[in-house]
Structure formats: structure tokens, C-alpha cells
Amino acid sequence: MSDILYIVVPSYNEEDVLPETAKRLKEKLNSLMNVGKIAKNSRIVFVNDGSKDRTWEIIKELHESDNIFSGINLSCNRGHQNALLAGLMSVTDHADISISMDADLQDDISAVDKMLDKYYEGYEIVYGVRNKRDSDTFFKKATAEGFYKLMKYMGALMVFNHADYRLMSKKALKGLAEFDEVNLFLRGIIPMIGYKSTTVEYERGERFAGESKYPLKKMIAFALEGITSLSTTPIRLIGVLGLFIMAVGIIMLILGGGPALSSIWFIGGVQLLSIRIIGEYLGKVYLETKSRPRFIVDEFLNDE
């Protein structure tokens, strides 16, 4: 008997793309059902992350028209990572397999077939990995690849050029449920689960419609969230920098001094930067100790 697949799609202000996304995903699921690769009661689950447009109304209309579509409505906007986690945790008891992808149709849907092949070979987690970044600007390509290399240097277990397009088995989802942290960066957390995993390559396309939900400001904030959620290396680097500044000060003292004003400005800047980094970590500890819920599901539309 084939396993049940739930495709989880976080959605925030996606009224422009949802109808086409739903159409293409339905075609994909029906084709997989027809060849017996997945069970007939597999589903597509759209997670509404507190959208301000008609996203939730469209999700409800899709569900009413065909029970292949399910919908999760969060009580308020919680951000992409929390919305994705809400979807994954909500389907754990219903699905044998979950595949997460964005709603903008940039993830190549045909890679689902290859992910399922790897799952049936015995892999619990299958990561979708971009095979090239030709469609990216030079700046975006350089910063993205630089980020992955930086995370590797800091000791984070991340899959290079992987976003949140991945397959997870029920076993892997239950492993993910063991991680309770409020500060989420799933690209770094999921590799920590440790089960048998592999990758499949795909070509990422252009956004079908609507606007990107990750402008430069959000991309920088997301990168900082990942760094401070997964590694304490920045705090350790403060100590290294402190030793370096002390060494420079001693050398300047031996050589008879130097531009005092420049030194004061430099040291002051380093101190402020160090306080900011330490404050970022203290803020995360503060949020973790509160044990606030990462998301609250207002409604789950799912006809099994």
C-alpha cells in the first residue's frame, strides 16, 4: 500500500499565485496517485500566516471545491519559519511523508518525484538543492553562497544551496517535534535530527506572480537569525578581537604611541559591536525562558 503524502505550503499574502499553485500541485498529486506512488488520501495543505489579503478565503474555497486541499489558519502572523513548522506539526499524525515548499512556484514541482524515489529507497529526509543560481543577480548569488560558507565555518550543519524545499518522513517529523526552541531556523535544525538523508537537485525558476516576501532587509534579518540561533562563534570571536586590540595597544605603547583619537574611536566601536552581539544572544535566552507558543492554529480544514 502506498504512503500518504501531505505537501505543506506556507502562504502569506499569496492571493495572486494560490490558484495557479493549487492547480499545478493538484495535477502533480493526481499523477502520483494514478501510478500508485502515493495514497489516494494524500493532501495539499496551505498554511495561512496571518495574511492581509484574500489568501485564507481562497484556501477555504479550494477546500470546499476539492478535499485534496486542506488549510491551516494561524491566529496571527508568525513568520515563515513558524508557519512552516505549524504546518509540519499539524500533519504529523495524518501523513507518512511531508514535503514543504513555498507558494510562489519557484521550487520545481517535478523534483517531488525524485524526492519520493529517495524516500522509498530508505531515506528519512531528502533536501531539495539548487543546481545553479543563474537567475540570481551577482549580489544575491554572492551573498547567498557566502552565507552558507559562513555558517559552515561557524559549525552549523547546513546543506549548501538548500532552502526549505524538502521531504521528511513521519519519523523525521517526530524527531523535529523534540526541538522546543522558540528561535527557529529550520535549515539548521533539521540536519541535527540525524536520520538517513540525501539530496536531489532542481532548477529554481522565477516567481510566477506577486512580490517577493524576502527583500534585502528581511534577508539580512533571516541570516542573522540563523547565525545566532545555531552558533556561539560570534561571541568567541569577540574574545579573539579583544586579544588582538590588546596586542595592538601594547605594540603602540612600545613604539611610543600613535593617533590616540583614532584608537579611541576604534575601540569604542568594537565595544558597541560586542555589546550588540552579546545582547542578541541574551535576547534569545530571554525569549526561550518565556516558553511562549511558536504558533497558534485557529482552524484546520482537513477532510480525511
Q: For residue range 200-249, list pLDDT tens digits in order.
A: 998 876 655 555 555 556 666 666 666 666 666 777 777 677 777 766 66
Q: For residue range 119-140, list pLDDT tens digits in order.
A: 999 999 999 998 876 666 666 6
For residue 11, what are the β-bridge partners? 48
pTM of the model: 0.76
Helix, strand or coil for residue 186? helix
Backbone angles phi, psi at 213, to 5 degrees: -90, 5
pLDDT over 70 at 20, yes or no = yes
User: Rounded to an integer, what distance in angstroms lies between the CA atom of residue 287 and that of residue 300?
Assistant: 27
User: Rounded to an integer, what distance in angstroms lies between the CA atom of residue 150 and that of residue 144?
Assistant: 10
Name the packing angle between helices 55-65 and 18-34 (round to 10°): 30
Element (H, E) at 56: helix 55-65
27 contacts: CB under 8 Å, gap ≥ 6: none
Q: What is the pLDDT of residue 58?
A: 97
